[in-house]
C-alpha cells in the first residue's frame, strides 16, 4: 500500500480508502456484523488506514433494530484508533433516495457530539459537510467548523459534492483539507476542479469510484437487485448499453494482468485522486487493494481519457451525463 498526505500534509492516509456505507446502508440488508468485523480488520491488516462513514448511513436489521454504520466502524477500529484516519459526515438525512439537508450551527454541534459517541472516540480526523445546504451560507458552516477544530473535536474538514465557488468561499473562512465528490470513468464532471484543488492544497476523495460497482464488470443489464434494500435496482448504469466501456476496461486489464476494477482505481490514483470503494466481500477488498500496485504512465492515463471522451455510455446514478 502507498501512503499520501491529505490536504496540506498534516494527516497521512493510505492512497486507497475503504467506504463503509454499504455494510449497513443502500446495498441490501445490513451485513452480518461478525463478517464486517473481519472485513474491517482485514482492510487494516492489508494496509488501509483511511475509513469513510457518515451519521446517516443507517440500515434496518431483520429484528427491526437500527444498524449504525458509525457504531460499526468505531467499534471495530477502537484498537487501532491512533493508527487510522476516520472520516464521517454531517448535514444530511435520507428519505428513501431523497436527501434532506440541515447544516445549521446547532445541528452541526449536535451531530458532531453524536458521531463522537457512536464512533467511541474523542476526535474525528476528517469531518465532511455531506451536502451543501441551500438555507445555510457555507461561510456560516465553515465558522462553526473552525470552532470545533479549536475545541479539538475534529482535526480537519471537507465538503461532499461541492463546486469551485463554494470551495473558495469555505476555504477563506476555514481551510478545507479534502472534498469528496462523485468521480469515476463514467462520471468525470468534476475534472475542472483539479487545478483549484492543487492551488489550495485540497485532496480530491472520490466516492462511487466504480460507479456503484458497475465498473467491476461483474454486472450487466440482466442483473437483479433487491428493490426494497438495494439502490442499484434503479441505477441507470445497470440498465444502459455500456459494453464499449467494459470492452476497453477488459482489454487494458488483460494487458496489465489485472481486473477492470483495478484499472478503474489505478487510473484514478494516477491522477492523485483518492478512491474509497466499498465492499462487503473479502475477495473484492483484496482486489481493490491490488490496484495500488498497478502503475499507469501519464501517457496511458491520457490515452484512457481520450478513449472515454469518445465512448457512448449511459447516465450514472445521481450524476450529470458527460457529453
Catalytic residues: 57
Rounded Cα distance, 37 and 130, in Å: 25
Q: Which residues contact 214 (CB under 8 A, 6 or more apart)?
A: 186, 235, 237, 238, 242, 316
User: For the residues of 122-171, what is the DSSP string, one character each?
Assistant: S-EEEEEESS--TTS-HHHHHHHHHHHHHTTSEEEEEEES--HHHHHHHH
Rounded Cα distance, 295 and 143, in Å: 41
Cα dist. 253→10, 17, 135, 256 in Å? 35, 21, 46, 5
Amino acid at each position: 500500500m502507498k501512503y499520501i498526505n491529505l490536504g496540506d500534509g498534516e494527516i497521512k492516509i493510505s492512497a486507497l480508502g475503504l467506504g463503509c456505507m454499504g455494510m449497513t446502508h443502500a446495498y441490501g440488508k445490513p451485513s452480518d456484523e461478525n463478517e464486517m468485523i473481519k472485513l474491517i480488520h482485514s482492510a487494516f491488516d492489508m494496509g488501509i488506514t483511511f475509513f469513510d462513514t457518515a451519521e446517516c448511513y443507517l440500515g434496518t436489521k431483520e429484528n427491526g433494530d437500527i444498524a449504525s454504520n458509525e457504531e460499526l466502524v468505531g467499534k471495530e477500529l477502537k484498537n487501532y484508533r491512533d493508527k487510522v484516519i476516520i472520516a464521517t459526515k454531517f448535514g444530511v438525512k435520507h428519505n428513501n433516495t431523497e436527501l434532506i439537508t440541515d447544516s445549521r450551527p446547532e445541528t452541526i454541534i449536535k451531530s458532531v457530539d453524536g458521531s463522537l459517541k457512536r464512533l467511541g472516540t474523542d476526535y474525528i480526523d476528517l469531518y465532511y459537510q455531506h451536502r451543501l445546504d441551500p438555507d445555510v451560507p457555507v461561510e456560516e458552516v465553515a465558522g462553526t467548523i473552525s470552532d470545533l477544530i479549536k475545541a479539538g473535536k475534529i482535526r480537519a474538514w471537507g465538503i461532499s459534492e461541492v463546486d469551485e465557488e463554494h470551495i473558495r468561499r469555505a476555504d477563506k473562512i476555514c481551510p478545507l483539507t479534502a472534498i469528496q465528490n462523485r468521480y469515476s470513468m463514467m462520471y468525470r464532471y468534476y475534472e475542472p476542479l483539479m487545478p483549484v484543488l492543487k492551488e489550495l492544497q485540497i485532496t480530491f476523495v472520490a466516492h462511487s469510484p466504480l460507479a456503484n460497482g458497475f465498473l467491476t464488470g461483474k454486472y450487466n443489464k440482466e442483473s437483479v437487485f433487491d428493490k426494497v434494500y438495494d439502490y442499484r435496482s434503479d441505477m441507470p448504469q445497470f440498465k444502459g448499453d455500456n459494453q464499449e466501456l467494459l470492452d476497453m476496461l477488459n482489454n487494458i486489464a488483460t494487458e496489465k494482468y489485472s481486473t477492470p476494477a483495478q484499472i478503474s482505481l489505478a487510473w484514478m490514483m494516477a491522477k492523485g485522486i483518492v478512491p474509497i470503494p466499498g465492499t462487503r466481500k473479502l475477495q473484492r477488498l483484496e482486489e481493490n487493494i491490488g490496484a495500488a500496485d498497478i502503475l499507469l504512465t501519464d501517457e496511458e492515463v491520457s490515452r484512457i481519457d481520450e478513449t472515454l471522451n469518445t465512448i457512448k455510455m449511459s447516465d450514472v446514478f445521481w450524476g450529470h451525463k458527460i457529453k
